[in-house]
A and B are shown apart, each in its own frame.
Chain A
Amino acid sequence: MKNFFVSIVLLCIAGSSFASEQDVLMVRSTMPFPEAMSSLQNSIIEHKYTLSRVQRIDVGLEKAGFKTSRYRIVFFGKHDEMKLLTDSAPQIAAFLPLKLVIFSEGDETMIVALNPLHYDSATNKPEHTLLLKRWHNDIKSIMEDVRKEE
């Protein structure tokens, strides 16, 4: 009975924090773009992820003749985790590697990510939920690192 009560309470706490999560995570850094980008890359590495590539969207757009602010996409992940998920639920490959979008807004910088908890609908495998939750926490922590740095 006691265990049942504790389980209910724990479930309620976990449920309430999950329910309030936004689909799109977003932070603003008061640092200009180059400093924010450097801080972002450092934090990704500090969180033990491999940073595989930075896609320079602004460069592509400018080459195509469009005017744009600085806009990059940072790809990162952990090989064993990506392999585990794509081997058992290939459709999740549409969302991997993980990515953070970083762009300048005036003198400040915006960083945006999709909440990994919402990949749940692509995997439909409860055993993946724990990993998705950790990705979610890590991404929030990375974004918070950049937000707090001045």
Chain B
Amino acid sequence: MKNFSTLLLILLVPLTAYSAPQGKQLYQQNCAACHGDMGKGGVGVPLALASFLDSVSDRYLFTTIREGRPGRVMPSFQDMSDVQVEAIVRYIRSWSKNKAPVYPLQPIKGNSANGKKLYAQHCASCHGADAKGGSGTGVTFSRPRDLPIIAPSLANSGFLAAASDAMIKHTLINGREGTPMNSFSRQGMSDSQVNDIVAYIRSLQHTTTDQKTDKSEPAYIKYESSESMKSTLAALKNAAIGANFRIIREQLFEQGYVEKGKEDSKKIILYFCNFSMLNKALAIDPRVGLFLPCRVTLIEKDGKVSMITVNPSAMSKKFNNAELDKICAEMTGMYRDILEEAAL
């Protein structure tokens, strides 16, 4: 019984801490890398921007943290408790002296067909013809630094779940000072026209096709060659060059980890790169350095040489970035072609 009480006590201490989360600490752990320590943005939206905080409700922030933005880098924090998410929302809200706006959740009635036309004239240049938002992730590689944000995807299921019609309308009418989002009322748009655009944006809820994540794809690609290490390496180099890659480095796997000359010669790494493709991938998501430039490790064991590399398609799924998925699928195809040719 005494042991049981001790165990309960041990358990209760962390649980108490768990039930009273510190918003600041949670924010720093989970949000600051993208949104900045003080919410000035970067990869993510500048949350501390006065015009942003004054126009979004706590419900919007809560649902955004919970649902994320499928395919648009912002992850969904499904494992956090409601209390933890609320603590983060309170912390973000503490950056503004103004009270959080509260919007009615009732749908706004409007003519979505007319809204579609107005959207094409006034919104599509930033948010895209299909309302899927601007390109890139928001960091240095993807955009000029004079812009604080990349236009969000209005067709994204996460956005549509978080933003009420009234909140969208408020943003259209007032704009967001400090961002390229202008006030439509100041441009002379009528209340009824704004309602039409809101109705059109809401209608996208039925057409949104967020990418479903398939995490079952193998994390690596492996081909075997029955040729010697020397021949396989030469064949791999030829195949990479033939696929328009440049060989940038060849090294022993253990180089730098053991005394020079004592490395295992049966483990070799070959690096190759198509700089144009690398530059394109970095502009989409700068985190791709986690699996680029291209690299194949060759390991000789029992008379066979294995050529092993990461599977870019599987890696890409970890980034929640639909744009990146496309280029990674292309890269996976290239890797397979190169390795297959080298294994012949």
Q: Which A residues contact B (CB, under 8 angstroms)?
A: 2, 5-6, 9, 13, 16, 19-20, 22-24, 26-28, 30, 50, 52-53, 55, 57, 60-61, 64-66, 68-69, 71, 73, 75, 77-79, 82-83, 86, 90-91, 93-97, 99, 101, 103-106, 108, 110, 112-114, 118-119, 121-122
Are A24 and B290 in contact, CB atoms less than 8 angstroms apart? yes
Tally B residues with Cβ within 8 Å of A.
Answer: 56
Contacts of A16 in B (CB 8 A): 79
Once A86-B253, A122-B219 are accepted as A-B contacts, the answer to whether A69 and B141 lie under 8 Å apart by CB is yes
Structural contact, B290 and A61, CB atoms closer than 8 A = no
Q: Which of chain A's residues have a CB closer than 8 A to the CB of B342?
A: none
Q: Given contacts A28-B37, A122-B219, are A79 and B290 in contact (CB under 8 A)? A: no
Question: In the complex, given contacts A23-B319, A65-B275, what are 10 additional A-B residue pairs having Cβ atoms less than 8 angstroms apart?
Answer: A24-B287, A27-B33, A64-B275, A75-B256, A90-B299, A91-B308, A95-B310, A97-B257, A118-B219, A122-B219
- Is A104's CB under 8 angstroms from B140's CB? yes
The prevalent SS among residues of A at the interface is mixed
B99 at the binding interface (Cβ < 8 Å):
no
Closest residue of chain B to A104 (Cβ to Cβ) is B140
B residues contacting A by CB (< 8 A) are 3-4, 7, 11, 14, 32-34, 36-37, 42-43, 75, 79-80, 139-141, 145, 218-222, 248, 253-258, 264, 267, 273, 275-276, 278-279, 282, 286-287, 289-291, 293, 295, 297, 299, 301, 306, 308-310, 315, 318-319
- Bound Cα distance A105, B138 (Å): 10
Given contacts A9-B7, A60-B248, A90-B301, A50 and B256 within 8 Å (CB-CB): yes
Q: Chain B residues near A53: list those with CB within 8 A.
A: 255-256
Give chain B nearest CB distance to A137 CB in angstroms: 15
Can you list 14 pairs linking A and B with CB atoms under 8 Å apart? Answer: A19-B79, A20-B79, A20-B80, A23-B318, A52-B257, A71-B286, A82-B253, A94-B219, A95-B219, A96-B253, A97-B257, A110-B33, A118-B318, A122-B219
Given the contacts A27-B33, A110-B33, A69 and B140 also touching, CB distance less than 8 Å: yes
Indicate if the CB atoms of B220 and A122 lie closer than 8 Å. Answer: yes
A26 pairs with B33, CB closer than 8 A: yes
For residue A97, give the distance in angstroms from its CB to the closest CB of chain B.
Answer: 8
Chain B residues near A30 (CB-CB < 8 A): 37
Distance from A50 Cβ to chain B, minimum over Cβ atoms (Å): 5
B139 touches A68 (CB 8 A): no
CA distance A82 to B267 in the complex (A): 12
Contacts of A71 in B (CB 8 A): 282, 286, 289
A94 to B312, CA, bound (A): 11
Q: When chains A and B are docked, how far (Å) is the Cα of A86 from the Cα of B318?
A: 23
In the complex, residue of chain B having the shortest beta-carbon distance to the beta carbon of A101: B289
Contact partners of B315 in chain A: CB under 8 A: 114
Contact among B79, B257, B275 with A61 in the assembled complex (CB-CB below 8 Å): B275
Q: How far is the CA of A105 from the CA of B42 in the complex (A)?
A: 7
**Contact assessment for B308 and A94 in the assembled complex, using a CB-CB cutoff below 8 Å:** yes
B289 close to A112 (CB less than 8 A): yes
Which one of B219, B264, B290 lies within 8 Å of A121 (CB-CB)? B219
Closest to B295 in A: A94
| A66 to B33 Cα, complex, angstroms | 26
A94 to B299, CA, bound (A): 11
CB distance from A85 to the nearest CB of B (A): 12
Pair B256/A52 contact, Cβ less than 8 Å: yes
